[in-house]
Amino acid sequence: MTTADVEVRADGARVDIVITGEIDLSNSERVREEIFGSIDNRLTEVRLDLGELKYLDSAGLRILFALAERLRLLQTSCTIVSPVGSPTRRVLEMSGVGAVAELQP
């Protein structure tokens, strides 16, 4: 079983979510619950830091697309941070997640 750690840092109307490790089908439901549990309708910005994420499969991508849609409905900005050239960044770019969330290096 793979592991992913989710750390939530709330700062007023902004929340930073740092995910490390790996996200795949075996742990995606727990990761999704932790991320979505940190979102409320008072936020204006969500920043997702995937800089230390080593692996992301389609189950993880589904989480990101669902999060982006939820935040769109809440009129909350969504930024995903992932280093240029990293394996995770390449997966994000190929999936088209940049169309629904801002990608930053």
pLDDT by residue, tens only, the chain of 105 residues: 689 999 999 999 999 999 999 999 999 999 999 999 999 999 999 999 999 999 999 999 999 999 999 999 999 999 999 999 999 999 999 999 999 999 999
**Chain centre to alpha carbon of residue 64:** 5
Give dist(CA 88, CA 47) in Å, integer.
16
What are the structural domains of the chain?
Answer: 4-104 (3.30.750.24)
Place of tokens 């801002």: 102
HSE, CB side, 13 Å, CA atoms: give it for residue 32. 19
Place of tokens 């280093």: 83
Q: What is the pLDDT of residue 1?
A: 67
Give dist(CA 54, CA 69) in Å, integer.
24
- pTM, rounded to two decimals: 0.94
Give dist(CA 86, CA 89) in Å, integer.
5
